[in-house]
């Protein structure tokens, strides 16, 4: 298991980024959350199998078709055993 917390910057609000991120995370079997931040970025926490996390990080570099991702900053963090799904916050 692996976990990370990240911030995605660019045109990532108002383009369905959170919803598509949740859908991809669920398909990959990840647990965590995604939310908009006041500064226009999107914050993400995800945990799961290393291969799934790697695929998810690849997705975050692109986002949905109408988004424009300028940067993804990621920090490896501890697993949160209280999470049992992936949700939009």
Select which of 35, 36, 65, 85 is catalytic. Answer: 36
Known catalytic membership, residue 85: no
What lies within 8 Å, CB to CB, of 84 at 6+ separation is 31
Active site residue 89: no
Hunting for tokens 């990840």 — which residue is that? 30
Q: Which of 18, 22, 27, 65 is catalytic?
A: 18
For residues 67 and 44, the answer to whether their CB atoms sit within 8 Å is no
Please give the Cα distance from 39 to 86 (Å, whole number): 23
Q: Which DSSP letter does residue 25 get?
A: H
Which of the residues are catalytic?
18, 36
């Amino acid at each position: 298991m692996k976990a990370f917390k990240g911030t995605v910057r660019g045109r990532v609000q108002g383009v369905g980024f959170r919803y598509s991120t949740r859908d991809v995370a669920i398909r990959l079997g990840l647990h965590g959350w995604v939310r908009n931040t006041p500064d226009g970025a999107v914050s993400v926490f995800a945990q799961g199998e290393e291969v799934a996390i790697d695929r998810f990080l690849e997705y975050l570099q692109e986002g949905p078709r109408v988004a424009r991702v300028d940067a993804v900053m990621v920090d490896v963090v501890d697993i949160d055993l209280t999470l049992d799904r992936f949700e939009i916050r």
